Chain A
Amino acid sequence: MSKIVKITKEAAEFLNKIEELSGEKITSCIQCGICSSSCPMVNEMDLMPSQIMSMTILGQKEEILESKSIWICASCFNCKVRCPRELDLAKVAEALRQVVLRTATDKININDIPEDEIMELPQIAIVAACRRLTN
């Protein structure tokens, strides 16, 4: 059975919110897919970066926020320097993460990481992960 995406008022609100938070004009996306082909983490993603863009335009809030992709983005900005419309998808991903994190949700719990691993990790990795993945 194929799925039907309903076009609702809430959908437009979600797009507006993400555009405002990210500062990016998401509707400028031409769906060329270069973000996906330039992404170092794309093999780990369930939704393609380009798909995140088109689904944000359609306001598919739940599917996006529940996706693995927005959390696996490493903010490397390779998509930003390649996008023919100069869109910064790292900002879009961050905005989407913030929507979740600001509901007092953490994506990682540092206590879950075994101590020997914590000891091994460089400080910068831990702080960066907390900045990107926790509230």
Chain B
Amino acid sequence: MVEKKSQKIGVYVCHCGGNISEVIDVKKVAAEAKKISDVIISVDFPHMCSELGQQMVINDAKEKGLDKVVIAACSPQFQGPTFAKDLEKAGLSPYVLEMANIREQAAWPHYDNHEKATEKAIDLTKMAIEKARKDDPLEKGELKIGNRVLVVGAGIAGIQSALDLADAGFKVTLVEKDPSIGGKMAQLSRTFPTEDCATCILSPKMAAAGDHPNIDLKTYAELQDISGFLGNFSVKIKHKPKYVYEEKCVSCGLCEEKCPVNITSTFDEGLSKTKSIHLPFDYAVPYKYYIEADSCLRLIHGGDTCGLCQKVCPKDAIDFNMVDTYEEIKVDTIIVATGFDIFDAKEKPEYGFGKLKGVINGMQMERIIVKIAEGVILKELGKKIAFIQCIGSRDKQIGRPYCSRVCCMYAIKQANLIKKMDPTRDVYIFYIDIRAFGKGYEEYYNTAQENGVKFIRGKVSELIEDPDTGKVIVKAEDTLNRQMIEGEFDTVSLSVGVGPNEGTQSIVEMLKLAKSADGFIQEAHPKFKPVDTLIPGVFLAGMAQGPKDIPDTVSQASGAAARAIALMNQGKYYYDPLFAFIEKDKCNGCELCIPSCPYDAISMRDGKAEVNHVICKGCGVCISYCPENAIDMNLYSNEQLLVEVKNAVADKGDEPRILIFADDMTSYRMIDSVGTAKMSYTANSRVIRTPASGRVTPELILRAFYYGADAILIAEPEEISSPYKTSFKEMMKNYNKTLSIMKEVGIEEERLLALPFVTVMLVKFVNTVNGLNNLANKLGPIPKDKREKLVENLKERLFGVRNE
């Protein structure tokens, strides 16, 4: 922190058209500010945010050579960005602006006490001036971003994202673990509720992705590692051997004819046979043969075994010596579209999947229906068919309490398709609740009812087979009639739910993404950033983020592409220089800070810690971990917070003083709202803004008491809505640490509170602050000797005795 010896500070006190000046003596505020050293201008003005007001600031900054600007007006959340731009126009750093929030924090909540409101406004302005004095003229962070995107997974989500990006001119690498793109949708019969054939709508998109000049398709490939960050991700890709040269193979099929090894087809969910060398499926992209290594005689036994395919291949495209190959690419952004797995019904053995002949799963039903249309019978369905819903969904017994969102509709679709093929089949759907929430879904549900599909509200508990007839016995409570029903069925289809797959798990680990309780990837914000992750430049599409149907998947995929385009289109990425940094000369290399960072932004270099500024999100939790006080951060430096504290308590007189540390994202805004609502609370309070409450170190709290604070509230968002992963936990840790020292010294623990808030908890805030004020009044000030004791041997008390 380089503090200029002599600075020129301009202070502007706003009337806000009477909003402020009718309560606060703005002239007095300006006059008090003027008394402070280095303040060369201090004026009041009716409307600072008017064009005149803004121009005044710009002109003063230019003509009088201001170094720092303090505007005592509304909340920085409100007009802060406006004045920051003005500073840029004047050629100053936007970070030498401080706003004293005298409207939301003084004029409005203390409208009933002009004198105290004015006192508070003077304090707030002084705090802002002293903070400004220590502002560094920082520049915005800037990153160059290119136009390279990695799309992980080539199901419908990945294909849609890739096409949108490629059409917009970006260079896409589309990586797929299977030998063909298409994903699960390629296996489906028709799509609900329109019943258009899945292949017919998907295959043109697959072909387009295969041909697009801006898409580099990598099939049968897996990600090995991802490092780096936005604009500079390094991605290591493993190519599994197909044992067939794609560029040589003409898909003539001679190899498959000769191959002596029959294997069950995974594409047909085990219901048909294929050969060890085969095409992934009929309209695969790329449309090329490959060998499934674990079934090929030559690949298992080596030597001269078999090799028939190689002998007959007219293009010499088969090579048994292929091995894994690796490549490394650089990309600027990443879209994760790793998809899902269907629930393995064998995890619920009571339904006899894989054991009872008549029991199949929903995906097998899809394949059966597809093949019937082609005239192939994979399995006889028989006359009586039952669907059982919620297998692997809404079931805590197997750790899947969530709804899979597609099973009701796909079962209804399958039932409809069966009824259309043959109205004489007797079709039942056993369900808990039918969730037909999408556009046209309820109507489609009604179609099934009109087609004569029978809906029974009751979950089937287990399935058994009659050994004589081979039929499956289904027993359930008809919960709407409170009676047990029982019947024999030829086929029972388990409508299995969806869950995160292995690919999702591995990318979560590689990118250090957060997972939600259901195991899917956590989006940055469930409402407003549904396709972003907490990692800049990484976006989500499709089921990897949570269960969703095809329309939602495609929308989200386009959304993710748009988010990536918005970022890359600028060529540059600007960010506030809100990050921590290490003062190298103080760092002793103890590495305590490294595990404290929830984002892995701290690493060691040459025996000293170092913060990666792009990865760091500026929560400041690491600062409490440094026994050497070697960590500091921009915008909320140790010195700045301390000087704010000092000025907040300096003129308290005989009144108690309540300090509130409020996080920027939630609590500070909440306190603004209290002001806006003109809810009165004690004017003995002073608010200090922090990036997150994990930033409030025990040392800062103890020094605040030392300087004269009588009670302190640390306000933080509830854990689940915090933008910072560990802030809440760290706040509590610091809080407890501080309490134990207060206890040692004999200071009442009630003087310190650390509480979770959401932005609407206005009453809770008012009551809490007033409560602290009452308490402080009752207890009286903390005696000087105790205050002094609080800050004695701080290093030893906070970090234990250390061998120097």
Contacts and interface: CB of A to CB of B under 8 A. Distances in A.
Contacts of A78: 461
A37 B396 contact: no
B460 interface: yes
B476 interface: yes
A34 interface: yes
Contact of B459 (A43, A48, A81, A84): A84
A32 B462 contact: no
B390 A37 contact: no
A84 B395 contact: yes
B314 to A, nearest CB: 57
B266 interface: no
B458 interface: yes
Bin chain A's interface residue count. 20 to 34
A97 B380 CA distance: 49
A135 interface: no
Contacts of B476: 33, 36-37
B484 A81 contact: no
16 contacts: A32-B390, A32-B458, A32-B459, A32-B479, A34-B458, A34-B460, A34-B477, A36-B476, A37-B458, A37-B460, A37-B461, A42-B484, A48-B477, A48-B482, A48-B484, A84-B395
Given A32-B432, A84-B395, A50 B461 contact: no
B115 interface: no
A110 interface: no
Contacts of B432: 30, 32, 84
A84 B461 contact: no
B196 interface: no
A48 B483 CA distance: 8
Contacts of B390: 32, 84
Interface in A68-100: 78, 81-86
A38 interface: yes
Given A42-B484, A51-B482, A84-B390, A36 B477 contact: yes
A33 B458 contact: yes
B352 to A, nearest CB: 14
Interface of B: 350, 390, 394-397, 432-433, 457-462, 475-479, 482, 484
Given A32-B459, A33-B458, A78-B461, 10 more contacts: A31-B479, A34-B458, A37-B461, A37-B462, A37-B475, A38-B462, A48-B484, A51-B482, A82-B461, A86-B397
A94 B634 CA distance: 62
Contacts of B477: 33-34, 36-37, 42, 48, 50
Nearest to B485: A37
A10 to B, nearest CB: 24
A82 B397 contact: yes
A81 B461 CA distance: 10
A75 B768 CA distance: 50
A126 B482 CA distance: 33
B125 to A, nearest CB: 54
B484 A37 contact: yes
A30 B390 CA distance: 13
Contacts of A86: 396-397
Nearest to A38: B461
Given A37-B461, A38-B461, A84 B396 contact: yes
Nearest to A54: B479
A33 B459 contact: yes
Q: Which of A36, A42, A48, A78 has the most CB of B within 10 A?
A: A36
A60 to B, nearest CB: 13
A23 to B, nearest CB: 16
A42 B433 CA distance: 23
B396 A34 contact: no
A33 B458 CA distance: 5
A53 to B, nearest CB: 11
Q: Which of B397, B476, B479 has the most CB of A within 10 A?
A: B479
Interface in A22-45: 30-34, 36-38, 42-43
Nearest to B390: A84
A33 B394 contact: no
A36 B457 CA distance: 12
A50 B477 CA distance: 9
B462 A33 contact: no
Given A48-B482, A50-B477, A34 B394 contact: no
A64 B400 CA distance: 32
Contacts of A36: 458, 476-477, 479, 484
B85 to A, nearest CB: 53
A82 B479 contact: no
B516 to A, nearest CB: 20
Contacts of B395: 84
